[in-house]
Chain A
Amino acid sequence: MWSTLACALLLVAPSLCFAQADGNPFTGNPQEVAAGARAFAVSCAPCHGRTGEGTQGQAEGIKPPDLTRGVYKFGSRDGDLYHLISRGIPESGMPSFEQLGTAQIWRLIAYVRTLPQPRKPATGDAVAGEALFQGKGRCGQCHAVRSTGGGVGPNLSYDARLNDPQKIRRAIVAPDDEIAPGYTVVTIVTRDHQTLSGIARFFDDFSARVADSSGGERTYLRDEVISMQRDTHSLMPDNYGTVFSSAELDDLVAYVIKLRTEGRGQ
């Protein structure tokens, strides 16, 4: 019965039928991807956020995964995603979207697949960028690349989210605009009137554990200091817009994107 049906489908809608066996019929089709984006805004964004990064969804108490990473807990093949979206994940807050129908789910997947892709190709020279990263910018003092470098800022290798040249450039020249999750800065004034700032490993009403720029860490109790406050500034220097020329920034961006792409195969 199934083979008869499948053959009938093959006659009526050959591309769709073929695709269900081997992949998504809408992959790379701009119109269908755009339709998937609209469907995403309606059905997925309330929890996963408009960008799909999972950090700004409205559902309280639920931490939806970052869909822009291109790697998914329950399997990363198109078929895995289809199964997950159509059936939901019991007890996780992820409902079934079976009612959307086969075609719409494939459109959604086609769109989600575009999230980890570079928005625009990087125009700089990645080799020159690496030299700037380790040399003039001294970026490696704070950012690790693979297993080498400092631990104050985020490790820049293997990060699928580093896919948008404009966003990376903005993060370099205006680091205060968006601080990466997990890199909140806390400023503490101790009882001997020393002021120190660092990355908060945790920060709550009673305590904070702070990593300073040398990589040292210590826990402070609020009762034992004069003040303890969240800082809206990043620890990253805010003068890279003047340190680097525009062409050098392009090179740096190309290098950072290359790190991400290299990371996928490792």
Chain B
Amino acid sequence: MKKLACLAAVAAVAALAGDSVTFETLVKAQDDPASWLSYGKNYSGWRYSPLAQIDASNIAHLAPAWILATGARGGNETTPIVLDDMMYLTGPSNAAWAVDLLTGRKVWSYSKDAPLGLGLCCGQVNRGFAILGDRLFKVNIQSTLVALDRKSGKVLWETTVDDYKKGYSSTAAPLVVKDMVITGTAGAEWGIRGYVDAYDAATGKRWWRFYTVPGKGEPGAGTWGGDSYKNGGGSTWITGTYDPELNLIFWGIGNPGPDMDGDVRPGDNLYTCSLVALDADTGKLKWHFQFTPHDVHDWDAVADPVLMDLTVGGKKVRAVGQANRNGFYYLLDRTNGKLLTAKAYTKVNWADGIGPDGRPILIPNREPTEAGTLVCPGLGGGHNWEATAYSQRTGLYYFGSTDGCQIFTRSRQQFVEGLEYQAGDAEAPPKQVNSGSIIAVDPSTGQTKWRYEMIHRPAGLLATGGNLIFAGDTDGYLIALDAVTGKVIWHFQTGAEIKAPPISYSLRGTQYIAITAGPNLLAFKLQ
């Protein structure tokens, strides 16, 4: 019996190490333009495909090669994984599929029922798979992490991350680092206490947990009055990035709870609305940077932390950039978390800029009140969570934004386990219609290079070697912009609201662009 167990363990390790996707493959993912192997394309989160077959000269011939109607209900926010001739796609409501790249036909399906009583702010969304060896990893909405066999879709293991009855839920694509699967949690509107977790890719056993809200006696605990840390929020619902040389994981942390009533949680409320750098092997905090101390506007700092090696003020720096929901773009030194650049990219009326210490220079009386306070940007930002792109070819950083203001109100609320704990809300002022934009900035300075203004909001972005930016929007258009000028040069009506980012890959020497629109998956190529 012991021998059998031993053999099984050896086989499991071989399956992880011996197949096409190893940790080394993921480290060098940018060298493989045919595939798309992780949420952000590479560990730096660039979402830059070097493929250049499709460009401004021929884009008029870009048309669907196939469309797959998945039949899933709810909005799709996923980034697919592409390997060899297969695509691995997650959908809303715990659904997932393997899809043949040549034909768009389903090869296998996965589903798992969701229980009643989930506490969700934004539907049963899911943002994608991670891959290692022959294993695919995804979260399920009821706060579990599951490993599937990529050939068959069979469940290899499923681990409970937390108790969904207490408001915990899972939506983000996991991040594979070495032989670990890194994941976070959603639920900061439900009085949870957030964390970043690492699980053994072979067994699903948890290796470490970093609490985003420190407990009593831990560093940072003094930034929470009383016992407020217990329901302090700090969810981690967007995938982080990883620097293999520094062995650091960068993960954005969500809002404190309750969202709009800061009086019950006096202090800066670390590490909410922060970027944290964690030692990949231990989960220990290396440094943190808090964008919005004592946030009362629901400005999660979960947006993609994109790793860029740049020249700032004449010096070469290993930097990490984030277009924060609070209306400012930030660039930090990713070796130590020191601020390099901060610049507003949309209308901001709550701060007069960011000081050299990284703290916002606050404008008084911008807190939510019972009567309501007009604050710009609104509750959703600015830039929210939607995927961003960094083009190696143009050197520019691209992201979407909602531009406008909202009236924030505050109420008083007792915490009840398993119930929404927001203590306020936000509404657009009468007659104001928020609009959206796609923005290109110089990542070193935060200077806006161009801005494409839209009637509605953009979804996630993709940059390509053809000097194009692809983006979907809430009206269902997939659009292509010139990456240098921001001019729209192509659009296609997909038939459903787009919430997911596009990806690019190649099959048999042909470049494709793929995106989900509503319940459908579309793959485009030059025709």
Contact = CB atoms under 8 A, between A and B. Distances in A.
Given A46-B425, A95-B119, A90 B455 contact: no
Interface residues on B, range: 35 or more
B427 A42 contact: no
A96 interface: yes
B409 interface: yes
Contact of A46 (B420, B431, B456): B420
Interface in A175-197: 176-178
Interface string A71-107: 0000000000000000110110101111110000000
Contacts of A232: 431, 433
Contact of B117 (A49, A95, A176): A95
Contact of B473 (A49, A177, A205): A205
A46 B258 CA distance: 13
B117 A88 contact: yes
A161 to B, nearest CB: 16
B121 A59 contact: yes
Interface in B382-409: 384, 409
Contacts of A49: 425, 427
Contacts of B26: none
A50 B430 contact: no
B100 interface: no
Interface string B282-299: 000000000000000010
Contacts, number: 100
A125 to B, nearest CB: 31
A105 to B, nearest CB: 12
A197 B124 CA distance: 40
Nearest to A43: B420
A127 to B, nearest CB: 33
A132 interface: no
Contacts of A20: none
B118 A95 contact: yes
A50 B433 CA distance: 18
A46 B119 contact: no
Given A59-B122, A205-B475, A87 B116 contact: yes
A9 B473 CA distance: 55
B116 A61 contact: no
B268 to A, nearest CB: 24
A203 B456 CA distance: 10
A45 B426 CA distance: 10
Interface residues of A, number: 34
A62 interface: yes
B22 interface: no
Interface in B403-435: 409, 411, 413, 416-420, 422-423, 425-428, 430-431, 433
Interface string A192-213: 0000000000011110000000
Given A61-B123, A93-B120, A204-B455, A45 B425 contact: yes
A176 B431 contact: yes
B116 A88 contact: yes
Contacts of A230: 433, 455
B430 A177 contact: yes
A205 B471 CA distance: 13
Most buried by A among B114, B379, B420: B420
Contacts of A177: 430-431
Given A46-B425, A87-B116, A203-B455, A58 B413 contact: no
Interface of B: 73-75, 92-93, 114, 116-125, 189, 298, 379-380, 384, 409, 411, 413, 416-420, 422-423, 425-428, 430-431, 433, 454-456, 473, 475, 477, 479, 488, 491, 497, 499
24 contacts: A42-B423, A45-B425, A46-B121, A46-B420, A46-B425, A49-B425, A56-B428, A58-B121, A59-B122, A60-B380, A61-B499, A87-B116, A88-B116, A88-B118, A90-B116, A91-B74, A91-B92, A91-B124, A95-B117, A95-B119, A99-B416, A99-B418, A100-B416, A204-B475
Q: Which 7 A-B pairs have the closest CB atoms?
A: A96-B117, A204-B475, A56-B427, A61-B75, A93-B123, A99-B418, A42-B413
Given A59-B122, A87-B116, A98-B117, 5 more contacts: A50-B409, A59-B123, A60-B122, A61-B123, A99-B418
